[in-house]
Amino acid sequence: MANSGSPKKVLMLCGDYMEDAEAMVPFQALQAYGLSVDAVCPGKKSGDICRTAIHQGSPHQTYSESRGHNFSLNATFDEIDSSTYDGLIIPGGRAPEYLSMNESVLDLVKHFVKSEKPIASICHGQLILAAADVVKGRKVTAYPTVGPMLVAAGAHWVEPETMASCFVDGNIITGAAYDGHAEYINHFIKALGGTLTGSNKRILFLCGDYMEDYEVLVPFQSLQALECHVDAICPNKSAGDTCPTAVHDFEGDQTYSEKTGHDFKLTANFKDTDASSYDGLVIPGGRAPEYLALDQDVIKLVKHFMDAGKPIASICHGQQILSAAGLLKGKKCTAYPAVKLNVVLGGGTWLEPDPIDRCFTDGNLVTGAAWPGHPQFVSQFMSLLGVRVCF
């Protein structure tokens, strides 16, 4: 949760085939913290979509690319007044290659630099900074292949030690890739004048193969950015193992579509987990909950959090696990509409998710219907945890 009053306003500069996570994680995380975020793209208007790309390491000599979610813009590029915004976010991916040739984009970036407002740019986004001629004498990092262009533009290149590396020089925050979102977003919050309270919480994520990509990445990195200790576990897997994720999107069919998402790296061993050492639990949706609900060790783990009255946040199909554990009896909750049967048969009182981004809190339980509701979902979970962002 965030303090009341006029929210800080942030502008996000989008384009087709920007990296999926590098757009949505900061977009929804900042909204969850109480900021107002407008996403714009040259030549497009509010309500239009940008295609996104999923970039990740591969056994080949460079990263792989696959189609990500469709990202909906919520403002019109030609109508924005840059002077009304407090900060700028530039995602990476392939979009910056062509955005760096757009004079209106370069003028926009120059305004933020001249006004000494915070700019956070990640991965290939720094191509735009180089084209705008705003990195001379600045220490910056980026995805390694962007380094030569930044050097040619007069920057002091900081080689990223890992893909989680970030660097701050004045009002410019740069990151190598989405692995570093926690530090990257944290720096941006503080550059905007934000302070954190209650951030010493320990949070556990219950993961599984083909959980929804956004539904694990967004809350996981959002909570990390608030300086919480966040662990991710999966039955029969260990720290360092990965879970494949699924991109579930709404593309005009009678149900959601599915594409391959990012591989998500686990941070802890399921069999060694001491549930009593954690302050809260998050259950992502996707297809993983269907089979996790059959695992008695999973059921035992989830029951610990409910019996102890600790905050639980479950989204989309995650409520299938809560239903199987018998934890929805007497609870008011929502879920993805197709999961209504699980909720009702599990003794829960069904709350219609209308609109689909609506989330609810009943006691220690936060439930959401799908990833468009992440700002509410994460914010309500923060409230239960006592984590706060103040400006």
Q: Please pick, among 166, 316, 333, 359, the residue that the annotation labels catalytic.
A: 316
Residues 127 and 142: their CA atoms lie apart, in Å, by 9
Which single residue is written with the structure tokens 């930044």? 150
Q: Please pick, among 14, 41, 50, 123, the residue that the annotation labels catalytic.
A: 123
Q: CB-based burial of residue 60 (10 Å sphere; 0-12 exposed, 13-18 middle, 19+ buried)? A: exposed
Name which of 148, 5, 11 is nearest 77 in CA terms.
11
- Exposure on the CB side of residue 139, measured as CA atoms within 13 A: 9
Structure tokens, 132: 């705008």
What DSSP string describes 15-62? -TTEEHHHHHHHHHHHHHTT-EEEEE-TT--TT-EEEEEEEE--SSSS
Residues 267 and 127: their CA atoms lie apart, in Å, by 32
Q: Please pick, among 317, 333, 359, 374, the residue that the annotation labels catalytic.
A: 317
E strand spans, 253-305: 257-265, 280-283
Which residues face 51 on adjacent strands?
70
**Catalytic residue check, 156:** no
Which single residue is written with the structure tokens 């302050």? 279
**Catalytic residue check, 124:** yes
Structure tokens, 357: 């981004």
**Catalytic residue check, 181:** no
Rounded to the nearest angstrom, the gap between the alpha carbon of residue 200 and the centroid of all alpha carbons in its chain is: 20
No. of helices (H) and no. of strands (E), the chain: 12, 24
Would residue 193 be called left, alpha or beta, if left means φ above 0 and alpha means ψ between -120 and 50 degrees? Answer: left
Q: Please pick, among 55, 124, 262, 374, the residue that the annotation labels catalytic.
A: 124
Which residues face 366 on adjacent strands?
313, 361
> 71 and 48 in contact (C-beta within 8 Å)?
no
Residues 10 and 109: their CA atoms lie apart, in Å, by 13
Q: Catalogue the active-site residues.
A: 123-124, 316-317
